[in-house]
Structure 1
Amino acid sequence: MAVAALVIGLLLRLAALNRALRGSEASLTADRDLFRALADTAVAAIFVIRGNQVLFVNPAACRISGYDREALLSMGVFELVHPDYREQLLANQIARQAGESVPSRYDLPLITRQGAVRWVEASFALARFRDEDAIVGTLYDVTELREAQERLFRSLFSASPLPKCSLERRAGALALRRSNIAFDTLFGETDRPQPLFADWLARTRCSMTVEGWERLLGSCERDSQPGGLLEMHFEPSGRPALTCLVSASRVGDEWLIALVDITARREAEQARDQLSARLLERNLEVESLNAQLQRRAGELEQLSRAKSAFLAGISHEVRTPMHQILGLSELLAEEVHDPAQRELLDALGGAASGLMDMLGRVLEYTALEAGSTARKDAPFDPAEPLRTLACALSPMAVARGLHLEVDIAGSAPTLVGDAGRIAHILQLLGDNALKFTPSGRISLSLEVAAADADGRHLLTYVVRDTGIGIAAEALPRLFQPFVQQDASSTRRYGGLGLGLAIARQSAQLIGADLSVRARPGQGSEFRLSLSLPAREAVTSAA
């Protein structure tokens, strides 16, 4: 009984398995029919391949290739592919079967039964076919699309203002496929046949070798990105040298090369660099000259100090015996009563006094030049220096028959300044007027302006004479040391020409301006102008 039940159970299970198997076979048949229907009606060509063998094709594959089904199944797949792309297709197959990453979609040129080239967009995937590994390829005919794109590309390519060319492979070697007008004009090759790219590189003496270009194009193809801008130098035969920025990108089955001519910019940069180098060289020369000038200034300063020391020594050595001569001449004058002898003694005393005055002026000028003289400001009456000058000039003016005029306009407030220096400058100007005025008059005047907003008064001292005047060409050098207006003045009037130089430097020391107006035969006018504060203003500020 138990055995019978077991047998019945096995029979029922077997019947169920038979029903399931019949259902699976029916499902597989339905799937197979669906696949065949899809393949037969698909616009895309479908190939199933294993190695170089074609295992299955659909009607679209026959339409695109021009071969019937039996011919395709008897052919190797590489016979359909353009020779230039067979190596790439094989490498992709091997890499795909090894599990490596390869492009899932790319364009391929197929050779039809009539020998024409049809471009297809191909995609490949691994699959099981008849219980073995195979590759399923789906190919869309894009020949018309590529031709339309080619026409558009050619139009844009030719019209582009940028120099452009495209490269392709011919029998494994790079060759120039096309170039636009801008490119041909740049390199002067408007009548050129399309050569191998290596020949063109040699003819233009490009700074990048063929191997370098191969690496650049390989990176574009590998990364599916345009190559970065590279700077290259060209020396076309019979043309000026060029410097260009070059970029490369993969467009379909060719590489598009675009150039930007930066020759002028590089030449400008080179000129700028050369100018910078020259400026640097000049700066170094200037620094060297400055160092030499500083050394020379130091040497001159040492010489100036040595000169001052020498003059001080000479002054001491000369002034001491001169004082003795003056003293002895005065003693002799007391003992001598003969008029002729007294005249000689007076001449001796006058010569000694003149020499002492010259020594004093030389020493004073040296001190001013060395900057060893300081101003001494104190409250004073602005009219006092002019009165002092009038008292000093009056006896000599009377002795020479000159009329001395003094004009002090109004009363002046007490100011703060270097009264001694002002009086000395006026004395020098008065001596000059007395010296060069043989007849006529000497006028001394003072003008005091009202206080400004800061409580300062503008003083103007004027020493005017009716003497020989000064020629216009002599005015620019009038205040230079050891200079008189001409050699005849030195012979006629004597002196070292230091008085006015000392007056100018003394005026600068106290912040005053010393100016002159003169005409030959019409006399001279010297004006000493300076601004000084009132004593009250100084006191309130303190």
Structure 2
Amino acid sequence: MKPEASQDSYQAAQQSDRKQVVSGVDELHQIVQLASTVSGCKTAMIHLLNGGKLDIYAGRNWEPSSQHHELPFCKKVLASDHSIVIKDTSVELDGERSCLSKAPWNFKFMAGFPIRSKQNAPLGVLSIMDKSQHRLTVEQMESLDILSKHAAGTIFMGTATSELHKLSDEHQKIKKAYDDSEAFYHNLVESLPQHIIRKDTKGEFTFANQNFCKAIGKTSQEILGKTDFDLFPTHLAAKYQEDDRVVMESLQKIEITEENVGLNETKSYVHVIKTPIFDPSGKVVGTQGIFWDVTDKKKTEYELTLERRLLRSLLETIPDHVYFKDKKSQFIRCSRELSDRLGLKDPSAAEGKTDFHFFSEEHAKPAFQDDMEIIRTGQPIINKIEKETWRNGEVGWVLTSKMPYKDEDGNIIGTFGVSKDISKLIQTEEKLRKTEQKYRDIFEQAVEGIFQSTPEGRYIEANPALARIYGYKSTAALLGSLTNIQQQLYVDPSRRQEFARLMKEDGEVHEFESEIYRKDGRKIWIAETARSVRDDEGKTLYYEGIVEDISERKQAEAALQYARDAAMESNRLKSVFLANMSHEIRTPMNGIIGMSSLLRQTTLSEDQVYFADTIESSALGLLRLINDILDFSKIESGKMTIENEPFNFAENVEQTVSLLADQAQTKGLEFILDIDCETPSMVLGDRIRIQQVLTNLIGNAIKFTHAGEVRIKIAPQSHQNGICWLKFQVIDSGIGIKPEAREDIFEAFIQADNSMARKYGGTGLGLAITRQLVELMKGRLRLESETGKGSCFWFTLPLEAKRLRQSRKKQPTYEWSGQKILIIEPNDHCQEALAPILRNYQMDYHFVDKGRRGLTELSKEHHDSKPYHYVIVNAALPDQSGLEFCQMFNALQFSPKPEVILMSNFGNRLSKAHLKKHGVSMVVNKPVTQRSLTRGFRRICQVDKTGLDTQFLSISDTSSLVIQSLQTAEMPNQQVLIVEDNPVNQSVAEHMLKRLGYQPATADSGEKALEMMQKNHYPIILMDCQMPDLDGYETTKKIREMESCEQSGSQHPCRIIAMTANSMDDDRQKCLDAGMDDYVSKPVLLPTLSTALKNATSNSVPIEKNDCDQKISTEHKPEQSGFDNINTDILKQFLNPEGSTKKGILPKLVQMFCEKEIPKRLNEMNAAMDTGSKDKLIRSAHSFKGSANNMGAQKLADLCSELESSADQITEDQTLKLINLIKNESKATKQSLQQFLASVK
């Protein structure tokens, strides 16, 4: 059994030479002698394992030549792990008998004892033999066993001694190698260009080569034992020691490239490698650092990277085919454009391939030959046009340049080239060639004459057609004969001069007509269309163009002109006839309508009322028919003009719709107006024509709708460059229009069905006029309809937006903003129209569609302590009437009780007592608009502030109710000083103060007011802000200074209330900053002034900027006053309580305004324009705005306000245009004021 190599250290020794493995052979021989003696056997020997075999190392009576003879018996002893005794080999070793019976053995007796190490590893066998039979006693066996163990010890000692000798030899060799290595290391580190250092764990230098010493300028003696802090700046030393710490703790090397900045700000780069140093036991004893300058390497790497990036960018983005090839004409690299053209996924796919892989042999073979020629000669090929034929048969053209590709030593190792795709250029050239040929063919074969001539008047080239027109047999004859075009050709030579002038100024002429002489002397008419051909500097080289013989056309035009003149005369006579007919018909019509109107105001029987109504409606129908015919006549004759003037858009639409409301309500239709909150408030356009279009469309919708609703929707589509495109929709649920009739109905005198004229009446002109009016206003009219379900007529108009609605600016705040409101309205479209209005109010709104649901909602919110502040209810509900709902709601007796607003088609017909009984606070007539609803809310607020009965107030009531309430209040009888330079405004203020029981005093300037204040104390002052010289702000400051200087303190400071035509938040704050106590805007209504005076006398806080009394003055309009440019509610303030002008101040105010104020302000504006004074113009516009507001002239005030705000921004022409509008409106205002006076006398 072979021992395993890991069992004992002796195993290694047994694999080498005997003399090197076992020492102490003499001791083994002595053991053999003792074994022979102890056993009494003549032969004894020791076998030891050597290379897996048992060899004899010592013996008695044995032949040396047989030392390597291996006995199987010994192997058995060694494998058995105990001694074996064979008394008779002839009996017990049958298998070995033949071996033992031969020389040199012939043994009869054998005994073997295994030799093992302390670790029980087999070493060999101690055996004894004899040629005669023999027996061993127990003592002999024990002795022999001891001798075998002693042999093992002897072997161990010999081996150990041999190992010690070997270790000594190895130590000497290692020491010599270490010394050689150390010498080599020092020689190496000193010869290397790198800087090399070593440090111990404390960071002290233990070695530094000479390069490092030179680098820092110190000797090795000055470095060794020092730390980084002794040699380097603190921040660098700290970094170096931190790096050492990381290396020693991680037991890993670090390798980095560091950037260093020198004293002269130059950058350098150092590559650093730091590694831990271990002792033989593996313990870290320090660090070793190697570093060297890599600045040049970094620069080279950067330049190489840059070049690669540039090349990559070039190859990825260049639109041309770029490629590199080796000596075999195989692609090495190519551009992305080329790989895409080759149909490859990536440029790398082209590597190793040639042109033969992609092109036909027709192209690939010459390309290969060119590559080989360049490689052979080194000569490039520049700008060679090549025809590329691809394998699929596709043909292209490229412009190619190829150059030799060389290595660093200048050896040609391939080629590179750039090919630019010029297929389109080749195609263009071919097209150009064909075009030139085509032009030449056209030139030669054209029917019109074609020419080139010099600016001086000589033909350079002409085609055969021109020669024929001019009467020449050939172009050569024409060019030879006509050497002075102006004198030889034109009947009127000045036409050539005019031709040359136009060519010089415009560079071209179109259809330039002239009469010329032919060669035979006959006159003909020609039309020339030509252009001027110039060089790069703009100098005219020649004229080129065409000539057309228009003699026949001129004759036809003459005949046509004669026919046109006759037609125009006929039209003129028709227009005269229509005008005369209109005048003749309108004169008696005026009498019929006027007298029937007066007749209806007298006491009549029921039949007489019916007759009078029939006469009036028939007369009005006839008048509309006449108007339609006249409008159509104007449009047909081109005399219809479109005005472009500013007007309030929403007000205009609401007035138009209100005139048609009765018609819709009479038929029981739901009438809805929905104006988007983003619609501009002031626009430039033709107000009258827009009214006419809407009236026609809405009137038709009402006429052809028997049940359901008529809805008007208006919303902006886009805003661009100050122009707002508005979309108008008139939607009905009427009879609809058949598809085949939808285009014809826009034609004159056409209706969708002939039976309609009999059933509904009409001329069929309405839609024709409407469409043409829309188109004249640069819009378009369209129709969408479904038979039996209804129609939608819609049109768009571009209108210049003068002022956007408030929602596009800062969201306004109302007194009712943030409050809860419940709307009981069954119609979804009505809800859609109301929702944006309520959102604009910033109200918390909720819709229900039935009265009982409304009661449930009101009860629920009331019990949850979240009561509603307002309720809007439709007069007609699905489950009950609006008044029935109000009656049931009153029975609930909520506290506080919401204000109830009734929406009704019959609001003006309901008695106030009846409405009051049912708890209705306000009636709003349909269609409900933001303006009407705003007025309703403000009236409710106004009633609360003035103490009027809140149980009922209709939005159509006049302000006389408010005036009467104020007159019944306690008369304060206090002095009030009016500081106002405008006489009209003075009179208005005096009249109001007297009506309210105050004693007015007047100062027409700031200086006059200060003078009066020194003589008398006025507890209240009404102060105009804009006055010449000393304005209201400065006057207020001086009054406050006077009050602060008074020492007596016996009088309270006066209360100053600002009166100004400006109503912005900044203006209010400016007044308060100047020291004023309150603020009211013009025109001032009695309720507003009364509240301000009451606050002044009670020393209350100033009015809030959103107080509803303030807002009424600028936004309140009468429901139906009959005057579209004045607010009659304001004028009615100046009537006496009986409603006439007797003892009233109104006639005097109208006279002062019309005869003094208007001429004065217009003269001021003219003078300001003459002198160019913008400041005077603005002051005059401001004053005029204030007086116009006080007289209820809202439209005039709006124009003055626009002039005031824009005078310093617009051009002089725009300013004059605006002043002219003010002048025209002033005339209209005079007329309206006089008419109003006449109506109330």
Task: Pick 1 or 2: higher relative contact order, CA cutoff 8 A, min separation 6.
Answer: 1
Q: Output the TM-score relative to the length of structure 2.
A: 0.20
Q: Larger Cα Rg: Structure 1 or Structure 2?
A: 2
TM (normalized to structure 1)? Answer: 0.45
